[in-house]
Amino acid sequence: MTEAEDRKPQSDEAKGTFDPEITSEFAIPPGLAVPKGPKGAKGGGEPETTSEFAVPEGLDVTQPADGEPEGSAFSLPRTYSARHAPPAFTPAEGFPVVSLTKDVPWQDRMRTMLRMPVAERPAPEPPPKAEEGGPAVPRVLDLTLRIGELLLAGGEGAEDVEAAMFAVCRSYGLDRCEPNVTFTLLSISYQPSLVEDPVTASRTVRRRGTDYTRLAAVFHLVDDLSDPETHISLEESYRRLAEMRRNRHPYPTWVLTSASGLLAGAASVLVGGDLVVFVAAAIGAMLGDRLAWLCAGRGMPEFYQFLVAAMPPAAIGIALTLGHVDVKASAVITGGLFALLPGRALVAGVQDGLTGFYITAAARLLEVMYFFVGIVVGVLLMLYLGVQLGAHLNPDAYLGSTERPLWQIGASMLLSLTFAVLLQQERSTVLAVTLNGGVAWSVYGAMHYAGGISPVASTAVAAGVVGLFGQLLSRYRFASALPYTTAAIGPLFPGSATYFGLLAIAQNEVDAGLVSLTKAAALAMAIAIGVNLGSEISRLFLRIGSAEKRRAAKRTRGF
């Protein structure tokens, strides 16, 4: 054999068996006879029967009719039977169909969709309404965050803020978005598809202000954006948003100061005060308001603003007692407290807790606690000073208060009117909220004074009526419910219970003081829960407000 013939390639079998150059550990040693494998297998390769996925000899497997092997992803398993199919992920009755009609307010439409998983939400109703192809995603998210910031800073509940943000994104074609709202942080994430990277943006709420006129304008903008027949470009939305920020408050400063005085005077009449008490309470509240404005201009935190604002009414009440003026000093101090109690933040905090936003609710209630502590410190300083000077303040004076239904109903309406002015509400809503406040006090008086029902239960029912009427009025006008409910609950605030609790503590009667403060806390919670319950009841009369279609915020029962 020549050298060229030696270099000829050998056959597979010979090469696999006799080639000495093969050093693989899978090579067959010389002299070892290997039986032939199944048909189609390599003579010198690894037998297929050694694979754990191979079918043993003698076992025949029938293949599907379409020719696909059983391991294929496109073939049905041998154990599958259409008659005895395993339970599917989708329930047999299917998912409930949500009817998102145009006549229903956008708040309820968006809230219904937010409470559904992303995969179950209906397909987008309108195509992008701006320039062809839709605006840039980052700009839409920025506009959404700016609108959410105005709503959250104005005191709107977290659920309504999320609904508004979702409505804005949906109106520009960004349907796969997830807004998230906490007390000071807004964020939103948009994912174009399951395989694309999400786009996320966030914004921090630095300042908070009470301007329900601006709040109503933002709601009107969101309502126009969510209307499929209204086409608003992104530039137009930015222009309207800039106008809302530039607009001045509807009432000048002197009107706000006068309103705070009238509010305190009306509150003093509610607890049995006369004309002298009305004037004294009004003067004390106006002095406290001016001192609070002075502290705010110096950049002091709100805690010290509340502390300073609570001192003048208490000082005037103590001065009347020391001067032996035959008036109810307790009514003067109680009237001044009515103008300071943070009812707006309390209602928003309890509402967030009831709708499942526990972090935001805890932060809001903590803010309320700080404001309340500031009021307590300011009043206690004056009460301690009065006790040391020999002022005889009687904690039982409120037990002899006379019932004057007509005067008290008129005072409650004046209190709601002035409260609406302090909240910078639109002039068109002032009359409605004034009547709502009169109805609230009438319900409370009929239950507590005439019916002898406990003040906590009477307050809860009256607040529920306020929430019911306020929610129906807001849905009628496609606006926020806050302007129709916050001022109307003013007459129900626990000003007298707060004052007498602080007075008892100042006179070293800590047990009695704590009992009175606990009663004040119970009344405050009754107000907040009643308003929220009334709002939920009102949604039962709306088209998509039934329990069958509107999913609860809490999807489990605690487990």
Lowest-pLDDT range, 94-108, 178-192, 232-246, 357-371?
Answer: 94-108
| CA–CA dist 349, 368 (Å, integer) | 9
Confidence of residue 51 (pLDDT cuts 50, 70, 90): low
Residue 72 has pLDDT above 60, yes or no: no
Tens digits of per-residue pLDDT, 406-452? 888 888 899 999 998 988 888 888 888 899 889 999 998 888 888 88
Mean pLDDT, rounded, for 273-279:
85
If one compares 509 and 189, the residue with the highest pLDDT of the two is 189
DSSP 105-151: -HHHHHHHHHTS-GGGSPPPSSPP-SSTT---HHHHHHHHHHHHHHH
Confidence of residue 35 (pLDDT cuts 50, 70, 90): low
Residues contacting residue 360 through CB under 8 Å, at least 6 positions apart = 158, 181, 182, 183, 349, 352
Residue 139 has pLDDT above 80, yes or no: yes
Q: pLDDT value at position 223?
A: 87
Q: What mean pLDDT is reported for the chain?
A: 76
Q: pLDDT value at position 407?
A: 86
Q: pLDDT value at position 494?
A: 78
Q: What is the pTM of this model?
A: 0.68
Q: Enter the DSSP assignment of 69.
A: -
Cα dihedral 293, 420, 352, 375 in deg (nearest 10): 40
> Phi-psi category of 424—alpha, beta or left, where left has phi over 0 and alpha has psi -120 to 50?
left
Residue 103 has pLDDT above 50, yes or no: yes
Residues contacting residue 193 through CB under 8 Å, at least 6 positions apart = 176
Q: Read off the tokens for 348.
A: 């928003």
Q: pLDDT value at position 189?
A: 92
Q: Please say whether the beta carbons of 265 and 335 come within 8 A.
A: yes
Beta bridge partners of 202: 187
| CA–CA dist 367, 373 (Å, integer) | 10
Mean pLDDT, rounded, for 334-342:
81
Tens digits of per-residue pLDDT, 294-319? 988 888 888 899 999 989 988 888 88
- Cα-based distances in Å from 258 to 46, 222, 336, 340, 489: 98, 34, 13, 14, 20
3-state class (DSSP) for residue 166: helix
Q: Please say whether the beta carbons of 349 and 418 come within 8 A.
A: no
Q: pLDDT value at position 454?
A: 87
| CA–CA dist 150, 161 (Å, integer) | 9
Q: Give Cα 57 distance to the centre of its chain.
A: 67
Q: Which of 332-346, 393-407, 458-472 has the highest mean pLDDT?
A: 458-472
DSSP 450-472: IT---HHHHHHHHHHHHHHHHHH
If one compares 530 and 556, the residue with the highest pLDDT of the two is 530
3-state class (DSSP) for residue 356: coil
- Cα-based distances in Å from 266 to 26, 271, 510: 100, 9, 30
3-state class (DSSP) for residue 187: strand
Rg of the chain, C-alpha, whole Å: 36
If one compares 239 and 124, the residue with the highest pLDDT of the two is 239
DSSP 336-375: HHHTT--HHHHHHHHHHHHTT-HHHHHHHHHHHHHHHHHH
Q: Enter the DSSP assignment of 529.
A: H
Tens digits of per-residue pLDDT, 191-232? 887 778 888 999 988 878 778 888 888 988 998 888 877 788
Q: How many CB atoms lie within 10 A of CB 199?
A: 16
Q: Please say whether the beta carbons of 143 and 463 come within 8 A.
A: no
Q: How many CB atoms lie within 10 A of CB 278?
A: 22
| CA–CA dist 308, 294 (Å, integer) | 10
Q: pLDDT value at position 113?
A: 67
Single-letter amino acid code for the residue at 82: A
Q: Order of strands, edge to edge, in the sheet holding 177-181?
A: 177-181, 185-190, 199-204
Helices marked H in 136-205: 137-153, 158-171
Mean pLDDT, rounded, for 234-261:
86
Q: Enter the DSSP assignment of 353.
A: H
Residue 401 has pLDDT above 80, yes or no: no
Q: pLDDT value at position 400?
A: 45
Confidence of residue 15 (pLDDT cuts 50, 70, 90): very low
| CA–CA dist 537, 546 (Å, integer) | 10
